[in-house]
Structures are given as structure tokens and as C-alpha cells.
Amino acid sequence: MELFPIIPAGGILALLVALYMTSSVLKEDTGPKEMQTIAAAIREGAMAFLNRQYRTIAGLALIVAVLLALLTRQYHTAVAFITGAFASALSGYIGMYVAVNANLRVAAGARNSLNKALTVAFRGGAVTGLAVTALSLLGVTSLFYAFGGATNPTRAPLDIVGFGFGASFVALFAQLSGGIYTKAADVGADLVGKVEAGIPEDDPRNPAVIADLVGDNVGDCAGRGADLFESTAAENIGAMILGIALVPFFGVKGIVFPLVARAAGIIASIIGMFFVRAEENQDPMAALNRGYIVTSILAIIFLYPISRYMLSGPGVNFIYFYGAGIIGIVLSFIFVLITQYYTSYDYRPVKEIARASITGPATNIISGVAVGFESTALPVVFISLAILGAYWLGLKSGLPGGGLYGTAVATMGMLSTAAYILAMDTYGPITDNAGGIVEMSGAPEEVRRRTDRLDASGNTTKALTKGYAIGSAALATFLLFSAYIDEVKIALNIKGNFPVDIGKPEVFVGAFIAAMMVLLFSSTAIRAVGNAAQYVILEVRRQFKEIPGIMEGTAKPEYGACVDIVTRGALKEMVLPGLIVVITPIIVGLVLKAEAAAAFLMVGTITGVIVALFLNNGGGAWDNAKKYIELGNFGGKGSEAHKAGVVGDTVGDPFKDTAGPSLHVLVKLISTITLVLAGLFI
Amino acid sequence: MELFPIIPAGGILALLVALYMTSSVLKEDTGPKEMQTIAAAIREGAMAFLNRQYRTIAGLALIVAVLLALLTRQYHTAVAFITGAFASALSGYIGMYVAVNANLRVAAGARNSLNKALTVAFRGGAVTGLAVTALSLLGVTSLFYAFGGATNPTRAPLDIVGFGFGASFVALFAQLSGGIYTKAADVGADLVGKVEAGIPEDDPRNPAVIADLVGDNVGDCAGRGADLFESTAAENIGAMILGIALVPFFGVKGIVFPLVARAAGIIASIIGMFFVRAEENQDPMAALNRGYIVTSILAIIFLYPISRYMLSGPGVNFIYFYGAGIIGIVLSFIFVLITQYYTSYDYRPVKEIARASITGPATNIISGVAVGFESTALPVVFISLAILGAYWLGLKSGLPGGGLYGTAVATMGMLSTAAYILAMDTYGPITDNAGGIVEMSGAPEEVRRRTDRLDASGNTTKALTKGYAIGSAALATFLLFSAYIDEVKIALNIKGNFPVDIGKPEVFVGAFIAAMMVLLFSSTAIRAVGNAAQYVILEVRRQFKEIPGIMEGTAKPEYGACVDIVTRGALKEMVLPGLIVVITPIIVGLVLKAEAAAAFLMVGTITGVIVALFLNNGGGAWDNAKKYIELGNFGGKGSEAHKAGVVGDTVGDPFKDTAGPSLHVLVKLISTITLVLAGLFI
């Protein structure tokens, strides 16, 4: 087992690099006083939100942990749950801490050169990427060995599913409340500031402007970090469970293969990160893409010796599994391309929405819905091909029943670039914030142009990584679903097949309820934004009325009051959608039993992925249709088409930034819940 | 088998009553010359559309029939397909013929009294209700006996599935093209007429006004007629297939029970129809509801002797099946109530959308989407309870494996009021048209008030019957799905269980593709409306420009040119969405085989029902939110809220009148396709 040391080595190396990058970011120049004041306000608001959010979630998590201990009548699952929840929260905290310190340094760096600003922003993002993936890897590994993985490797993976559940539990609430926060602040700031008072975006006279900038951090940074933390955790564990069946062929190697592959992916990402560097006149995206391509190529190279060493056996040809892993890596590229096609204004869909805006907001909306619906087709086709292809390769490998493991390896392949992707993702809100700081501090035009370019690339990376996140969730659904079936088989001590018979009415009903739950959850999440935004609107109006001199710039608005109100609003509004997702699968499992829970899981993940694609891509397309009009097409800024474009953009906001990303988490949360509670559903 | 004569008796009686009502409608006064001219234009446009539509569909149907004959290598299915397609088209034709003649008589009758107008409108609707259900019943029955049902009753039901396929094939294209037509004309007329030229709705100066009125007929009348024709046909056949397994217990009675129950339901509906009569100051809805309640009570009464006589056997207590039937009848009431809650402005959801309109179109849309998503929850809960309840009753009956038949009886119960419901439904476009004729002919204020009241009740019935249609489709999904499994078992000669194992990748992929197909179909259907509307917009603009004197009322617009253009546009645009639905299940079945096709069927129906609920209820809620504002709430007509309400209403139009209703048909079409081709998927 000479490759095992790679696991801790990869994890610890990632943490060291993250530490190095943190200190290198913190050492940067913090710019003039005006910038520092604004950044401090954002930092305080974001950290205050995170603290209060974690206190709320900790309370909920403790209740769940106690219930888990009582229900499963053993401490493993509850301990794993708490560990997962804590590690998820910790990685969110680290990422956020660096992001809210990096934004100021990016703004300050933009006074010198584009490369300086870009490097600081990307390093800030890289800390999140590395911390999240390393903590997930180290957490799963430690628990695996703590629960006796060295002596009883076929039992330990089942004991650590709680880790995935804890991670998804925190992720759900983090993503939900972050998503609600960011859009409530955004909508509130826009409606009163831009529409009613007629002041531009990021104007310091708007009392909600700091809340808006805080929102970028808590929604995009902390939310997506928690999302990908649980992705990597849940999917590692799922693949390890599938590995149990392979012990007769590979020994423990089949079980720890996912961890080794993950560690190698982290190392590939670290190397790729050092390739991000931009000339003054270069497109920042080119620099980011270079790093991504290096990471992907390294991931493909590293996977070869690992598959060869770990997935060979008597009569088993590892090369087929290697092929399955490549399918996963290629699929992540394809997903990024499809997302780009549907959400960038270089292509037909966004242009179609922009053109429909000429005849007003109604046609803009209709066209956006049509594009969003349509955008689910290609991803499903490629996911299907990937699942079938990886399964087929797994069968060809010669390993009896190896098809399932083929899809697991493909998922590992897709997730091997996760650390890098997450770095690109967190880069987005950092540059966004830097732009806001530059704007509010009244920095010179030249600096603004630099941050604007960074911001534009940040919007692109945010959209692309959302595509990646849902793609990996979709590919993982089959893996997690199969892990659940395996777990039920182990619990029932079934050796052969455990067919879920969809001809039974309770199975059909379980499936029906799953699809409904996805829409009900989305409804409550979308509505939560509206509710929380109402608080902001009232507060901003109050300040405009009660504090004289705000509009003239002679008095400062009370930014803190707005931040406080959104914080409380978002945390209150996250409860209902969160409970729907946690309680529904439990009820279905307890009342309708294991087969119905399986159908629930299958249809819930399928519907969740599809609705998330619709919401994310539709929202992204509306956003860029507005930007396309603003570039001077169909009448440009101020035209009727532009007004319609703004409506579409606003509609898309809660779709793409609240409900859509929360559905990523939902898809995995229902998997981990059913995995953890499978024993009770029998 | 003394109850058998009920079947032809019920069918023929219904046709005779339909004939009597047709002649009684035609005998009515046709009013002044101005009304007659307008009505003639509508009639010609509608019939021209129907003729051209049927020619197009006939071509497509012929190709399918030939393919069917070649693929299944026997003539039964192809003959049944042609018969079903023809009967479906015929009933659409009859309904349309009466509707476009009734509208004028309603308008003329409104000059005398409300009761006169109401009676004529309802009788016009009743013709459709009776013709559709009678032709469906007689068609299935004749084919059953023609294919040897008297001598070989266990084979015949399988041979007549083609009838259901033919019916749904025609229904899909009829509903699609009708839905595209009606909304394209509506949107086109509104955008150029109301918005650009500033003339009111139904103004004779608008060149698209006749096309708009034609649209009400071809969309609502012909479309819904075809939809419910295939519902009753497909579900009868599905229940008959499930009855095959019961021959050892009930003999042939279990197979023909659905037909007898349907005949009794038709008789109940006929009696209920004669209870529709209104005083001058009464709410027309009260009159319509009275008839509905009488029909439902009679259906419950009639079902008792039928269940007792046909579903008793050694050790089998019929009373449980009777209970299952009552579940179905009660479920139809519940669905009507839920639809009312979500789409009427007396309740929270619509008021919420209206209130959200104050802050503009974006919040109106967000709120409407949230309401639409939410509105899927209660229907799914009640469908689930109904399926589980009916299944449980079926098991309790003492019949081995009787659970499935319990759900079949529940479906029969729900559909027993179909003829009456359809009469209420067709009443909608007739009153709508009558209102248009009254408006355009410049009739006195008093007459307008009467038709306005009728029109309002027509809008309500249209919304409610849409709820009923999707409810019965949802309940039937499980029945049709089970029939498919039964058919596969018969084809494979499996005696015991045929479990569909969702752990297989191809099954998972089949399910994934199904959910995606529903959204892709909706996308193309929604986009088709936009495309077809573009033709109308260009044509109306051309006429305004090229024909001097239109706006002054000195020159008549060329109504026919608009009608012609929408007709061609709708027929062209229906092809792509139609092909998606027909081809996808065939590819899934042929490539991924029978189990995957079963999962495809399950997830396709579930997603289809849920998305249809979202589109129908969301659209209906937007519509009435606008009306609620127009009543003077939140600023009333002309306010910002009203403008936002108009945007929501326009967005909802293709949702609720094109994509939503087409999904009803989709749900059943994929069932009948897989049923027909089951033999090839093995």
C-alpha cells in the first residue's frame, strides 16, 4: 500500500500551501484609508453574519446529532455527523476570512497592475479551494481510520456516512441563508436605491450597499465552499461504500482508491494554481483557463499510475477504469462548455432573450423560460452517455459487477479538479468586492477599468463553476443512489440483487413526492428572498426618510443596521425550506420504507438536477441578455429592451443565486440522509 | 352478463342526446345581421383551420400506421390506431362545429335573457362532452368485439391499445397546434392592437381580432376535446388490460367493467345536464355547479350495483372496490377545489401575486413562479393518498393482487363525470366567443353585461376543468404504468413479478431522459407560440400600414389573411415538439429496452404532471392577479401594479394554454406509445 501516504501528504500539503497563500495575501498593501474603511465594514458584516449563522446551524445540528444517536443506537454516525458539520463550517470560515481580507488587497493592487490584482484575487480564492478539499479529504480519512478502517475496512465506510450528512446539513443551510442574504440585499438595494432614489449601483449613499457587498461573500464564497465540501465528502464516501464489494478482488485498495485519487487531484490543482499569471493587456480569463488546463492534464496523468496500482487484480484490466476516470474529467469540460453556450452572449440563447426584450418584459421572460427549459437537454444527454460509458468500461474491465465502480471512478475523475474549480469560483466574489471597494472609495478611472475587467472574468468563472458543480452532482447521483442500494443490501444481508420494484404503489408515490418536494423547496427558497428583501426595502426607505443629508452626501447611512436586518431575515427565512428537505425523505423512508425511499432518491436527484439546470442557466442567460443590451444592442441602455432586460435579470437572481445552488446541495443531502437512515427504512 | 347492453345503450343514448341538443341549438335565433357576419368569419376561420390541421395530422398518422404495421407485423394495432385517430378527430370536429354555431346563438340569446344565453351555451358544450365520451366508449367497445373479445377476451385488450395511441397521437397535435394558434393570435393581436395602436380588446379595427376568437375555439374546444377523448380511451384500455389478470375470478366481467362504468357515468352526466338552468339574477356558476353535483351523486349511486354485480366473486367483497371508485369521484372534487384555491382571487396565492405587482413586473413574475411551484404540493399529496387508499382497498377486497385493480376502479370513478366536465369546459370558449361577437357588433350595454357574466363563469369553468384533466391524468399514470408492466409480463410470458430494477444504469438514464424530455417539450411548445406570434405581428403591422382607413373605421381589415397566417404558423410550429414526444420514448425503448422504458414512463408521467400543474396554476394565478388589480386593488387599471399584472398575464398565457394542456396529452401519449410498442422493447 505504498500509495497510501499520498492521502495525508496531499491533504497536509494543501493546507500548507493555503497557509502560505493566506500569509502572502495578508502581506499585500492595503491601500488608502478610504478603501480600508469600506473593506472593514464588509469584513465585519460578513464575519458577523457567519458567526450568527453558525450559531443557528450549530443549534440545529446538535438536535439532529442527538436524534441520530438515539435513532441509530450507536455513536459512530452522530460523531461523524458532528465532525462533518464542524469541518464544513470550518472550511467555510477559512474561505470567508481570506476572501474578506483579499478583496481590499485586490482593490489596492489594482492601483499598480492587473497582474498584481489578479494574483491576489486568485490566491484568495485558492485558499478556499485548498482548505475545502483538504479538510474534506483529511476528515473522511481520519474518521475512516478512527472507526477501524485499518482492521475492518468493510465496515468503516458505512460508519462514516454521517460525515457526509453533517457536511450536507451545514451546506444546505449555509447555501440557503447565504443565497437568501445575497439576493435580498441585492434586490432591496436595487429597488429602493436604483429605482426609487435613482442613484447608481454601489453608491455609498445607499444604506444597503455594504449589505449587498457582504452578500457576495456569504452567498458565493461560503455557500459554494460548503456545497463543494459536501460534494467531495459525500462522493468519496459513496465510492468507498461501492468499494466494499470489491474487497475480494482489490483488498482494501478498492475502498481507499477514491481518497488517493482525490489527493492526487489536489496536488494537480496546486501545481495548476501556480500557472495563473497575467500580462497587463491580457484577458484575465486566459490566465485562469491556463491553470485549469494544466490541472486537468496533470489529473489525467496522475490517474494512470493510481488506477494501475490500485485497480489491477486477477483478470481485471485497470485500463478500463482509467478510461472511466478520463470520461469524468472530459465531462467536466463539456459541462463548462454547455454552460458557456447557454449563458454567454456570444451564442444564440442569450441573443434570443435579448431580441425578445424588444417587445417588452413579458416576451423577455417567456424567452428566458424557454431557454432555461431547453438548457437541460444537452447536460442530460452527456450525463447519460457518461454514466453508460463508464458503466460499460467498468464491465469490460473484467471485474465482476464492475460497472458500478466504473461510474464511481468517473465521478472521482470529475471531482479531481475540484480544488482548482473552487479557487476560480471564490475568485468571483473577491473581484466583485474589489470592484465595489474601488467604486465606493472613488479611485481613479484607470483602477476601475482594471477591476472591471477582473469583475467581468469573475462573473464568467462564477457561471462556469456553477455548471461544474451541478454536473458533478448529476454524475454523483447515480453513484450515491447505488451506494444506498448497497447499504440496504448490507443491512438486509442480501447477497444478490436488491431490485427496487417501481410497480409497487408506495414506490410510485415515493417518486411522485420527490419531484413535488423539489418544486416546493424551490418555491419556498424563492419566496424567502422576496420576504427578506421586504425587510431591507423598509429599512432603506426609513433611513432615507429619517437621516437628513444622506442624499447630499453630508450624512453617512447606517450600513450596519441594514447588514443586521438582512442577517436576521436570511436566517429566519432559511428554516422552512431547510426543514422541507430534511423531513420529507425521513417521512417517506419511515412510512413507505426502503424501496420507496430508493425511488424517492432517484426521482428527487433527477428532478433536482434538472430544475437546478433550468434555474441556473435561465438566470445566467437573463443576466447576460441584459448585459448584451447594455453593450448597445437593441437600443442599448435606457431603451425599452433594456428595461425588459432588467426585469429578466431581477427574476433570474433568486433563480440562479438562491434556489438553483441550494438544489445542488439538496440533491446530495437527500442521498446522505437516506444513506444514514437506511437501517430505519427496512 | 345482463349489464352489457348498458354499454351500447349509454353510447347511443349520448349520441342521440347530442343530436337533439345540436338541433335545439341550431334552431335558436341567430340575431341581427352584424352578429351573423362576425360569427360567420369565426366559423369559417375555425373550420378552415380544422380542415387544414386534420389534413396535416392525417398525413403524419398514415406514416405512423404504416410503421406500426411493419414493426408489429400484424394489422390489429395499425387498424386500431387509425380508428382511434379517426374517432378522436371526428369528435373534435363535431364539438367544434356546434361550438362555432352556438356562439352566435348565445350572443343573440343574450338580448333576451341570461337563462336563454346560458342554456344555449351549455347545450353547445354538452354536445362536445357527449360526442367525445360516447365515441370513445363505442370505439373501444366495437374494436374489442371486432378483435374477438367475445371469444378471446384476454387477448383483445392488448390488440386495441393502438386505439389509445391513435387517439393520443391526434390529441397531441390537436392540443399543440390549437394551443399555439390561440396564444399566437392572442399575443399578436394584443401586442400590436392594444400596445402599439392603443385600441381595446375585441375591437373590429384589429385585423387579428377574428383570428383571436377563432383561437378560443381551436385551442380550448378542439384541444381539450381531443385531450379528454384520449384520456377516457387510454384509461379504459389500461384498466381492461389490468382486468385480464382477473379473469380467473370475475371472468370477462373484470375486463369489461371499465366500459360499463363509463356508460353509467355518461348516463349520469346526461341527467345532470338537464339540471342546468339559471334565473336572471343568479350566478351562472351556481347553475353549472348544480348539474355537476347531480352528476357526481348519480355516478356514486350507479357505481354501487355495477361494482356489486361485476366485481363480486368467491371470497371477493365488491364493497372495497366500490370504495375505491368513490375515492376517484371525491378526488375530482378535491382537485377542483385545489385549482380554485390557487387560481381564484378570493384566496392567498393570487392576492400575493397581485401585491407583488406593486413593486413591478419582476416581483410579479417571481411571486407567480413561487406560487406555481408551490401549487404542485397539495395535488401530489392527494394523488398519493388516493393511489395508496385505492390500492389498499383493492387488497382488502380479498381478490389476490387486487390492489392494482383498486387504483383502476378509482380512475374509472374519477372519469365517470368526464362528459359533464367536458360540457362545462367547452361552455368556456362558447361564452368567450359570444362576448366577442356582442362586443364587435356593438350590441347594447345590457346585453354585454349578460355575456360578461357568462364569460366570467366560462373562465372559471375552463380553469377548473383543467385541474380535473390533469388530476385524472395523474391518477391514471399509475394505472397506465401498471398496464405497461402487465403487457411486458404477458409478452415475456412471466407469471410472477416483473420488477423494474432502478439500480441498473440504463434504467436510471431512461428516467433522467424522461424528466429532461418534459422540459425540452415545454420549451419548444412555449417558443412555438413566440414564433407563430411573430407572423401575426408582422401581418397586423402590414395591414395597418398598407390599408388606409382601418383606424378610422372606414376600411375593413383583411381578417382572413391573419387567420390564414396563424393557421400556417401553428401547424408548422407544432411539428418539432410533437416529434420530440413521439420519438424519444421509442428511442429509449429500442436502445435501453423494456425496464428503462418503464422508468422512462414513470418519471415522464410524474414530471409531466408536476410541470403541467406548475404551468397551469401559475398561468391561471397570473391571469386572475391581473383581474384582481383591475377590480381596483393596489391602484387598479392603469397603475404600475396593473402594468406588472399584464406582464404576468402575458407570460402565463403560453404556460397555461399551450404547454400545460399539451403536457396532459404527453403524459398519456408516452403511455400509449410504450404500451403499443412494448413487444419491441424486449
- The domain spans of chain B are 5-680
pLDDT at site A299 = 96
ipTM of the complex: 0.93
pLDDT at residue A481, as a whole number: 84
Tens-digit pLDDT profile for residues A67-90: 999 988 888 899 999 999 999 999
Q: How far is CA B9 from the centre of its chain?
A: 25
Provide the pLDDT confidence category of residue B262 given band limits of 50, 70 and 90.
Answer: very high
B356 contacts in chain A (CB < 8 Å): 530
Q: Is the pLDDT of residue A499 over 80?
A: no
pLDDT interval class at B92 (50, 70, 90): confident
Please indicate whether residue B93 or residue B351 has the higher confidence score (pLDDT): B351
The whole-number average pLDDT for the span A33-54 is: 91
Q: Which residue has the cell 341581427?
A: B32
State the average pLDDT over residues B633-639. Answer: 91
- Tell me, what's the pLDDT at B91? 86
B377/A506 CB distance under 8 A: no
pLDDT (0 to 100) of residue B483: 86
Instruction: Out of B387, B503, B647, name the one closest to residue A508 (CB).
Output: B387
The answer on whether A283 is annotated among ligand-binding residues is no
Query: Do residue B603 and residue A599 have CB atoms under 8 angstroms apart?
Result: no
Mutate to test the interface with B, among A358, A607, A649, A655 (most CBs of B within 10 A): A607
pLDDT of residue A417: 93
Q: List pLDDT tens digits, range A546-563.
A: 988 888 888 888 888 898
Of A286-290, B50-54, B499-503, minimum mean pLDDT range: B499-503
Q: Does the beta-carbon distance from B607 to A607 stay under 8 Å?
A: yes
As annotated, the binding site of B for substrate includes 183, 656
pLDDT in tens, A225-262: 888 888 888 888 888 988 888 888 888 888 999 999 99
pLDDT at B257 over 60: yes
Task: Say how far apart CA B343 and CA B355 lie, in whole Å.
Answer: 15
User: HSE on the CB side for B14, CA within 13 Å?
Assistant: 34
Residue A484: pLDDT over 80: yes
Rounded to two decimals, the pTM is 0.94
Describe the crossing of helices A75-109 and A161-189 by its angle, rounded to 10 degrees.
40
**Cβ A660 vs Cβ A521: under 8 Å:** no
pLDDT at B497 over 80: no
Residues present in chain B in total: 682
For the record, the C-alpha cell of B660 comes out as 400545460
Residue A220 confidence (pLDDT): 78
Helix (H) or strand (E) holding A250: helix A247-250
Contact across the interface for B367 and A530, Cβ inside 8 Å: yes
**Rounded distance, CA B211 to CA B42, Å?**
7
Please indicate if the annotation marks A227 as binding a ligand: no
Q: Residues of B comprising the binding site for Ca(2+)?
A: 623, 649, 653
Shortest CA gap A211–chain B (Å): 20
The span from the CA of B343 to the CA of A472, in Å, is: 38
Work out the minimum CA distance from A348 to partner chain B, whole angstroms: 14
State the maximum Cα–Cα separation within chain B, in Å, rounded to a whole number: 81
pLDDT greater at residue A479 or residue B179: B179
Highest-confidence segment of A11-25, A193-207, A489-503, B486-500: A11-25
**pLDDT grade, residue A297 (50/70/90)?**
very high
Q: Given A361, A365, A520, which is nearest B373 (Cβ)? A: A520
Contacts of residue A96, defined as CB under 8 A and 6 or more positions apart, other chains included, come to A46, A47, A50, A217, A218, A221, A222, A225
Helices (H), A417-444: 418-440
pLDDT digits (tens, 9 = 90+) for A385-425: 999 999 999 999 999 888 999 999 999 999 999 999 999 99
Least confident of A391-405, A449-463, B43-57, B568-582: A449-463
Kindly report the nearest CA distance between residue B646 and chain A, in angstroms: 8
pLDDT at B581: 95
Q: Mutate one of B242, B357, B373 to test the A interface: name it (highest A CB count within 10 A).
A: B373
Which of A143-157, A371-385, A485-499 ranks highest by mean pLDDT?
A: A371-385
- Residue A610 confidence (pLDDT) above 90: yes
pLDDT digits (tens, 9 = 90+) for B98-147: 999 999 999 999 999 999 999 999 999 999 999 999 999 999 999 999 99
User: Which of A217-231, A288-302, A474-488, A493-507 has the highest average model confidence (pLDDT)?
Assistant: A288-302
C-alpha cell at B178: 390549437
pLDDT at A1 exceeding the cut of 60 = no
A607, closest residue in chain B (CA to CA)? B515
Give me the residue from A388, A520, A654 closest to B366, CB to CB: A654
- Rounded distance, CA B492 to CA A651, Å? 51
How many helices, marked H, and strands, marked E, lie in chain A? 24, 0
- Greater confidence (A269 vs A221) lies with A269
Among A516, A598, A647, the residue with its CB nearest the CB of B361 is A647
Question: Contact A289/A156 with Cβ under 8 angstroms?
Answer: no
- Across residues B440-468, what is the average pLDDT? 87
- pLDDT score recorded for residue B123: 95
* SS3 labels along A55-83: HHHHHHHHHHHHHHHHHHCCHHHHHHHHH
Cβ–Cβ < 8 Å for A250, A236: no
For chains A and B, CB pairs below 8 A equal 214
Pick from A367, A512, A537: CB nearest B530: A367
Burial code (b: 16+ CB inside 10 Å, e: under 16) for A601-626 equals: bbbbbbbbbbbbbbbbbbbbbbbbbb
pLDDT at A500 over 90: no
The Cα–Cα gap between B452 and B443 comes to 12
Report the pLDDT value the prediction gives residue B1, as an integer from 0 to 100: 56
Share of chain A above pLDDT 90, in %: 60
> What is the sign of the dihedral through the CA atoms of B302, B308, B311 and B317?
positive
DSSP-derived 3-state class of residue A486 = helix
B346: Cβ–Cβ under 8 A, 6 or more apart, which residues? none
Name the percent of chain B lying above pLDDT 90: 60
